[in-house]
Chain A
Amino acid sequence: MSSLSGIGGRLYRGETSIDFIGKRRRWYALSGIVIIISAIVLGTQGLHLGIEFKGGSEFSVTKVGATVEDGRAAIAKAGVTGETVVQKVGNDRLRIQTGALDSFATVKQSLADTFGVNVDDIDTQIIGPSWGKEITKKALYGLIGFILVVMLFLTMAFEPKMALAAIIATMHDVFITVGIYALVGFDVTPATVIGFLTILGYSLYDTVVVFDKVRENTKSITSTGKITYSAAANLAVNQTLVRSFNTSLIALLPVASILFVGAGLLGAGTLKDLSLALFVGLATGTYSSIFIATPILAQLREREPAMRALAKRVAQHAPGSVTIEAKGSVDAGSSEKSGWARGPRNQPKRKRR
């Protein structure tokens, strides 16, 4: 673990630098391919929607030794036709999902008789046919409202281009997460949708951390004229890399424990659906704030005339200037590869020497 800290120090000083922004085409292409695959799978296969979206009933019986066959027999006896799913959940729980029913009381009675349990001990969930439309609509409103409000807020807190880049990265996360759901065929329930929406917030949290550093690094680059916007932004990503890794990992640990307990002990339901969506989303969110959000931001900013002029000025400077700058306590051995000025000595705001 302390070797990771060591990497943190080297990343901070710019001795180890990963070129996130220069190689952006690679990341864009990677994300592009995943999104295209997602779109194709989504178009052909679609999402595996839970009964909350389709309408229908779900019963669950807790009985030691209950078998799937018994469950099927019980609902057949109640005269249920159409698509039904009977699943064993956990050790001694049986979950039965059916389409819309005329009389769910009959089914419950039949289950109670078959398994010898009290009717009131059968857990039931009945979803009306219009319910799915309702929650889909709400989720959509939530998404649109969220994007507008956050865009406005980030524009005020940072700058419009940062807001735009952050939102593009967030949309990227939503696409990829939905794509993964379509691809793997995980159940999509309202809890999943809430998970998605939460990811939006979290993915932005991560992006905010990186952008805050980008802003700090680029505050006075035009006046010092030593480093391009892209280079300063890249340094910021590198400097916050360990932070991003740590925040994501720490956020992921509790989510993973919910997923573990939810899927392992309870088998299915709110906990599993919520944490799975969060788990997938957190991972893509971390990826996008480093590989997508910052490169897009740099690209947007580099188009500005002031930044173009700056890039020209920086290009005219000899690479040698770097070694002269960095003769302090830190050795400058790693700066020979490119003309980018690196390290804290080149952070524009520090003027100690």
Chain B
Amino acid sequence: MSAINNSQSSSQSPKGAKSSAKSAKSIAILALALIAFSAVAVVQGATKVKLGLDLRGGTSVTLTPRASEGSKVTTEAIDQAVAIIRQRVNSLGVAESEVAAQGSGTNRQIVISVPGQTGEKIVQLVGQTAELRFRQVLVEGAPNATTAAADAKSATLPTGVTPDLNAKYAALDCSKKANLQGGSTESPDIAVVSCDRNGTQKYILAPAQVLGSMISKASAAIDQQGAAGWYVLVSFNGEGTNKFGALTTSVTKLAAPQNQVAIVLDGLVVSAPRINEAINGGSAQITGSFGQEEASNLANVLKYGALPLAFDQGEVLQVSPTLGSDQLHAGLLAGLLGFLLVFLYSFIYYKGLGIVTVASLLIASAITYLSFLLLGEWIGFTLTLAGIAGAIVAVGITADSFVVFFERLRDEVREGRSLRSAVETGWVKARHTIIVADTVSMIAAVLLYFFAVGGVRGFAFTLGLTTLIDLLVVFVFTHPLVALLARVSFFANGDKLSGFSAKSLGLKIKTDGTENLKG
């Protein structure tokens, strides 16, 4: 071995010195970046990886939108449905509940996850279909509960308000989250009490005269003169035109608040505009101090609330905290075991070089853990059991890029190069293989992410993330580290424990330079 590298090592030292400074710099930058990101994590309070429901217990429901009579599944309709369901789920007040659409385009599912033991309540809550109704406002007031005047007589109450209804109205406390659940299934034919969606007002509302299905179009627009700002345009179909005309004609003469018509979505008042004039032309304009977002939100409510989406319950998953912690422990145990096996194999097969594998894997795990922390904080990433599996599988795939590099390195040494020059020539060749192979893994991960649903997406996500981390580690840590180690005589001289000894490379040259002629 020493005989082979004599000729090259002397001529290469200036270049070698430069590259070793570069290697040390690269590792130092990585170390600094790790420290910096750890500091960010601590500052942002992200000290714990957010766990998915399957690891800590909870309920998750996946809904698949179904096109029903006259309604089409569109991206906007799904967004609208997500907003309605989110409103219902948030009313439970369970921290870290989540409602999100997964998948792409119209092929999306809505995934609702609520931690803890909420049981069947969630399942029933999210299953109902939202309805949009127009109801005349009878009474409007502050959200808090009041004591009803016990002797209230029908005579003193506004038309259409019964003492019973009045008592209900008085008792209603819209500042309580539980009352903002929505999902009311009350018949459109009776008067009801209701809360504003944000809990800032409460109402007594007349029977619904116009239903959401009577709306044909709704859109947000801006007044070009800029006087009125953003407003919402609504058009009604034939039946809607007549009924809305009748409704506006009758209320426009009344005093406030009875000249208002509430837009009620899913049992909650979204908006209660005052009617300025009788609208008989079938199209109305709702003005107010809207921003663009508020205007288009209201337009969406009118447009999609009108044609309620129906959902099929795809999957309901209820995991008790016991099973959750069992799964977490199993996942961690599997990870530990996987690590140990890979470490063991690296040391047995690559001997001293195994240190590089172990160090690189530890760095990769540190980066992965840090990413979990930060992504949990930034994009709400939660670690699921499938995600843990993805990370464990990635240990093998990450170690694979080291194998590709090491084997290239050994090939170069076999061809008679010194270890120091082999690091560079071997790296250039291995680099190409590693990039191509990791790109293929990445393509797989991205496609899996977009085509999978539910917890399994976590697998694709961690797989993709760790593939990127693998690339990073190989480039800024493993290669520089090997380049540095190649200058250490233990490795450069092919010590029998270094992984570069003539024996372990299968070279037939003994270290004393004499040829072995046993072949």
Contacts and interface: CB of A to CB of B under 8 A. Distances in A.
A254 interface: yes
B337 A120 contact: no
A258 B391 CA distance: 11
Interface string A16-30: 000000000000000
Contacts of B228: none
A344 B505 CA distance: 15
Interface string A176-202: 000000000000001100100110111
Given A12-B506, A209-B437, A262-B330, A257 B392 contact: yes
Contacts of A269: 327, 385
- Name, among A10, A149, A202, A257, the residue most crowded by chain B CB atoms within 10 Å (CB to CB): A257
Contacts of A198: 393, 444, 448, 459, 463
Given A194-B459, A250-B345, A8 B410 contact: yes
Interface stretch (B29-37, B91-99, B149-157, B316-324): B316-324
A26 B323 CA distance: 49
A250 B441 CA distance: 16
Given A123-B319, A142-B447, A265-B330, A202 B508 contact: no
B342 A250 contact: yes
A270 B414 contact: no
A5 interface: yes
Nearest to B66: A130
A252 interface: yes
A243 B330 contact: no
B252 interface: no
Contact of A130 (B314, B319, B436): B314
A105 B315 contact: no
Contacts of A334: 519
Contacts of B326: 265-266
B517 interface: yes
A333 B107 CA distance: 64
Interface string A47-86: 0000010000000101000000000000000000000000
A306 interface: no
Given A246-B407, A271-B385, 10 more contacts: A62-B322, A149-B443, A191-B456, A246-B403, A257-B392, A258-B338, A265-B333, A266-B327, A274-B459, A344-B414
B331 interface: yes
B437 A331 contact: no
Given A15-B519, A139-B451, A209-B433, A350 B327 contact: no
Interface in B46-68: 54, 62, 64
A258 B416 CA distance: 41
Contacts of B314: 127-128, 130-131, 134
A255 B451 contact: no
Given A9-B505, A243-B403, A270-B455, A261 B337 contact: yes
A198 B445 CA distance: 8
B349 A246 contact: yes
A194 B460 CA distance: 9
A283 interface: no
25 contacts: A6-B504, A8-B506, A9-B414, A124-B317, A125-B318, A126-B315, A138-B452, A138-B453, A139-B451, A142-B447, A142-B448, A142-B450, A145-B451, A146-B447, A150-B443, A194-B460, A198-B393, A198-B448, A201-B443, A254-B341, A255-B338, A261-B334, A265-B326, A265-B330, A278-B393
A142 B342 CA distance: 31
Contacts of B393: 198, 251, 254-255, 258, 278
A205 B440 contact: yes
B386 interface: yes
Nearest to B322: A62
Interface stretch (B295-303, B394-402, B483-491): B394-402
Contacts of A134: 64, 109, 314, 453
Q: Which 7 A-B pairs have the closest CB atoms?
A: A9-B506, A201-B444, A254-B338, A142-B451, A251-B396, A257-B337, A261-B334
Contact of A1 (B323, B349, B410, B436): B349
Contacts of B175: none
A258 B334 contact: yes
Contact of A190 (B322, B433, B456): B456
A250 B317 contact: no
A119 interface: yes
Contacts of A247: 400, 403-404
A31 B385 CA distance: 35
Interface string B403-417: 110010011001110
Nearest to B318: A124
Interface in A129-162: 130-131, 134-135, 138-139, 141-142, 145-146, 149-150, 153-154, 157-158
B4 to A, nearest CB: 9
A2 B500 CA distance: 11
A4 interface: yes
B291 to A, nearest CB: 38
Contacts of A10: 506
Contacts of A302: none
A113 interface: no
B176 interface: no
Interface in A197-243: 197-198, 200-202, 204-205, 208-209, 212, 216, 239-240, 242-243
Contacts of B411: 12, 239
B341 A257 contact: yes
Interface in A332-353: 333-334, 344, 350
B15 interface: no
Contacts of A266: 326-327, 330
B349 A5 contact: yes
- Name, among B314, B338, B441, B450, the residue most crowded by chain A CB atoms within 10 Å (CB to CB): B314
A191 B64 contact: no
B365 interface: no
A275 interface: yes
Contacts of A216: 429
Contacts of A208: 433, 436-437, 440
Nearest to A200: B444
B393 to A, nearest CB: 6
B330 A271 contact: yes
Interface in B273-327: 312-320, 322-323, 326-327
A175 interface: no
A13 interface: yes
B515 interface: yes
Contact of A62 (B320, B331, B439, B451): B320
B448 A194 contact: yes
A214 to B, nearest CB: 11
A171 interface: no
Contacts of B454: 190
A73 B349 CA distance: 55
Nearest to A197: B448
A121 interface: yes
B119 interface: yes
A249 interface: yes
A62 to B, nearest CB: 6
A296 B503 CA distance: 35
A294 B459 CA distance: 30
A124 B53 CA distance: 13
A250 B389 contact: no
A257 B340 CA distance: 10
B459 to A, nearest CB: 6
